[in-house]
Structure formats: structure tokens, C-alpha cells
């Protein structure tokens, strides 16, 4: 019985891209900083990739159109993303995090799960370890992080999000269901606006209310998603923390709200999809050998095309070139487009880029 309880950390680096930019240029400290596409004085296309807490006070957030961000906060410092730099820093940080864990799972460029079950005997030891880890990251990298501590991955992830930045949130051992009961259902990863509205209509606002809904009912409402929801709300989710394998492929698809006949619109959307796909590749530290497209016409007739490149790359130009070449075939089609997508496959992990490390400025000692 002694080891029936697991202790999982979810570590989330605070405003990671902006923090790394601030280490490179300390003058940015305390300023509203936006990492994203060029705002071009308010007419720029593309989105906010990340922003500082100071920028968030102006209502900015990641995913927002850059033109809107510029209207809300023209005085912010706008930077193009330097993924090479972020990735290099991430690899160093993850190496340190891995040393603290029995089992380790990187979730994204700035998030990881650590299973520390065998390293701590009780809540106070767990808190101590988490606080040591925060101090270590600050001392070695000048970076702050928020940590959630819980009995499984989903509860730890929810917890880390409750207090930011530099937060430390522990779910008391054996009291996770009570801890979550008063919180709004929107704290659960995967519950978006739609699901929240649906649940609200059923009179379910808090996780506690969700806990009292029978699993059968949730499955009836959400299918497979209902199983997940039940497991998370009742703290029964029991997924292992483990190193992730390289995915087989990554893709980004866009469905048009109304079928499109104007081919230049298709090209625009493809271009955005390529940018998004490259961003995700870089965050996952992957490069690709094969590029592909998917085209669906109204009536669900679907075509896919692929092209193998001369060598592995994580480049956006190479992807755009390949995709545009593949797309040509459909240019003079008379049928309206319903969906287009881009896909990369034959992926592999990139090794650490040593060139950008030389431009690194050591952070001030704490
Ligand atoms: Mg983060």
C-alpha cells in the first residue's frame, strides 16, 4: 500500500520565449514584449506567438492577430521569433529537469512532467524538491517556472496553471478531488468554450458538479472524450510519465467556412498553414524529409500529394516551395475548395544547434 500514491510535477516555464529574449537583451525586462510576426504598423498579418506578462495587461495574448495586438499596445517591443535560440535553451533546461525525475516526459518546448514518486515521502518533501528545482533553474538559467504537484499528470497540469508566474501549487496528498471541487470546469485541459457552454446548460459549472455526473452520462454526451473527462474530474486518470517517441508526421488543416473558388485565397491559407506547421516542428525540435498537401473539394472528394526533399530540413522556404509545386495541379480546378492542409513526415529530432549558443549572454547571478 505504501507506494499506491504517485507524485507528479508539471513544470511550465513562465513566458518562455519572452524570458529567453530578455536574457539576451536585459533592457526588455519589465517592458511589454511581443514575439510574433511583423505588425507593420498595424497592417501586418500573422499572430502573436508569445507575449510578456506586462503585455498581457494590455489584453494581449498568444494566438491573437498581430494587427489587433498592435492596436491594443503599439508601444510594445515587437520581435520576430528566434526558434533556434529558444530550442537551444529548452534542450539545456530539459536536461536539468530530467535529472530531478525518476521518469520524465517533455510535453512541449517549455513544459514537462516529472514523476518523482520515489524521491519524496510526503507533501513537505515534495514542496521542498519543487522549490529546489525552481531555485536551480533561476540560478543556472535565469528562468522562472511554475510547478503543479499532484497524484497524476492531469491534476499536476491543472495545478501549475493556477498560480503563475513563479507559482508553486501543491494538491494535498489524498485530497485531490476535494481540491478540484470548487474550481470552474474550464480548468480541465481540453474543456473549451463549447464544452463549457454545454455543461453550463446542464447546470454543471464546477469540477465538483462534474464529479457527481455518472461516467455513463459523460460518455453519452461526449463519446470517448467523456471517459477522459470522468478520469480527470475524479482524479482517476493514471497515464504513465514517459519519454515521447518521435511522431510519424505532423499536419495542419484548414476548413473553409464557405467553399472557396478563388485560388489566391487557397494559396494564402496554405501559406499560413505552412507557417503554423513550421512553428510546431521547431517547438518539437523536429526536422522533416517529406512534405505533402491535402485538398478536399466540396462534396468531400479528397486528394493527397507528397514530395520527398533532397535532405532533412526544418525550413519554411523549402516547405512552401514543395507545397506550392504540389498545389499547381489543382490550380485550374473548377470545383470549390472545402479544406486544404499541409503535412510533413519522415521526421527526426534535431541535434543541438551549437552556433546560436555562442551568442548566448549569461544571466545575472541571483
Ligand atoms: Mg509556459
- Residues known to be catalytic: 111
Q: pLDDT at residue 247 above 90?
A: no
Backbone region of residue 72 per phi and psi (left: phi > 0; alpha: psi in -120 to 50; beta: other values): alpha
Annotate 108-169 with DSSP letters as a single string: ETTEEEEE-GGG-SSHHHHHHHHHHHHHHHHHHHS--EEEEEESSHHHHHHHHHHS-SS-EE
Q: What is the CA radius of gyration of the chain?
A: 22
CA 250 / ligand 1 centre spacing (Å): 21
CA 160 / ligand 1 centre spacing (Å): 10
pLDDT for residue 359: 28
pLDDT for residue 365: 29
What is the average pLDDT value for the chain, to the nearest integer? Answer: 90
Q: Which residues surround ligand 1, an ion (CB under 5 A)?
A: 12-13, 110
pLDDT for residue 354: 32
CA 107 / ligand 1 centre spacing (Å): 11
CA 86 / ligand 1 centre spacing (Å): 12
Instruction: Give this prediction's pTM.
Output: 0.73
Cis before residue 165, ω within 30 degrees of 0?
yes
pLDDT for residue 351: 53
CA 14 / ligand 1 centre spacing (Å): 5
pLDDT for residue 255: 92
Residues 277-321 have pLDDT tens digits of 998 888 777 899 999 999 999 988 999 999 999 999 988 999 999
Angle between helices 224-233 and 215-222 (to 10 degrees): 140
* Cα separation, 87 vs 114, whole angstroms: 20
Residues 110-166 have pLDDT tens digits of 999 999 999 999 999 999 999 999 999 999 999 999 999 999 999 999 999 999 999
Amino acid at each position: 500500500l505504501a507506494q499506491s500514491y504517485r507524485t507528479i510535477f508539471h513544470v511550465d516555464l513562465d513566458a518562455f520565449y519572452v524570458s529567453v529574449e530578455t536574457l539576451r537583451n536585459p533592457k526588455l525586462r519589465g517592458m511589454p514584449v511581443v514575439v510574433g510576426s511583423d505588425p507593420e504598423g498595424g497592417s501586418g498579418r500573422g499572430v502573436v506567438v508569445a507575449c510578456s506578462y506586462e503585455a498581457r495587461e494590455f489584453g494581449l495574448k498568444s494566438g491573437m492577430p498581430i494587427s489587433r495586438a498592435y492596436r491594443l499596445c503599439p508601444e510594445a517591443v515587437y520581435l520576430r521569433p528566434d526558434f533556434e535560440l529558444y530550442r537551444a535553451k529548452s534542450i539545456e533546461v530539459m536536461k536539468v529537469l530530467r535529472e530531478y525525475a525518476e521518469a520524465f516526459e517533455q510535453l512541449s518546448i517549455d513544459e514537462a512532467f516529472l514523476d518523482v514518486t520515489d524521491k519524496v515521502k510526503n507533501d513537505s518533501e515534495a514542496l521542498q524538491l519543487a522549490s529546489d528545482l525552481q531555485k536551480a533553474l533561476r540560478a543556472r538559467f535565469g528562468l522562472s517556472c511554475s510547478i503543479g504537484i499532484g497524484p497524476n499528470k492531469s491534476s499536476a497540469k491543472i495545478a501549475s496553471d493556477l498560480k503563475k508566474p513563479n507559482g508553486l501549487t501543491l494538491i494535498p496528498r489524498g485530497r485531490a478531488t476535494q481540491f478540484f471541487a470548487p474550481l470552474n470546469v474550464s480548468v480541465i485541459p481540453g474543456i473549451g468554450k463549447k464544452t463549457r457552454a454545454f455543461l453550463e446548460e446542464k447546470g454543471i459549472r464546477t469540477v465538483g458538479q462534474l464529479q457527481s455526473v455518472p461516467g455513463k452520462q459523460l460518455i453519452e454526451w461526449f463519446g470517448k472524450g467523456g471517459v477522459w473527462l470522468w478520469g480527470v474530474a475524479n482524479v482517476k486518470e493514471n497515464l504513465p510519465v514517459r519519454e515521447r517517441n518521435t511522431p510519424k508526421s505532423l499536419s495542419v488543416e484548414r476548413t473553409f467556412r464557405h467553399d472557396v473558388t478563388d485560388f489566391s485565397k487557397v494559396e494564402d491559407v496554405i501559406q499560413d498553414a505552412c507557417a503554423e506547421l513550421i512553428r510546431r516542428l521547431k517547438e518539437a525540435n523536429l526536422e522533416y524529409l517529406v512534405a505533402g498537401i491535402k485538398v478536399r473539394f466540396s462534396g468531400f472528394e479528397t486528394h493527397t500529394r507528397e514530395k520527398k526533399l533532397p535532405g532533412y530540413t526544418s525550413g519554411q522556404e523549402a516547405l512552401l516551395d514543395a507545397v506550392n509545386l504540389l498545389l499547381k495541379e489543382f490550380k485550374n480546378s473548377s470545383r470549390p475548395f472545402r479544406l486544404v492542409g499541409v503535412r510533413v513526415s519522415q521526421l527526426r529530432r534535431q541535434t543541438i544547434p551549437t552556433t546560436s549558443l555562442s551568442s548566448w549572454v549569461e544571466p545575472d547571478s541571483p
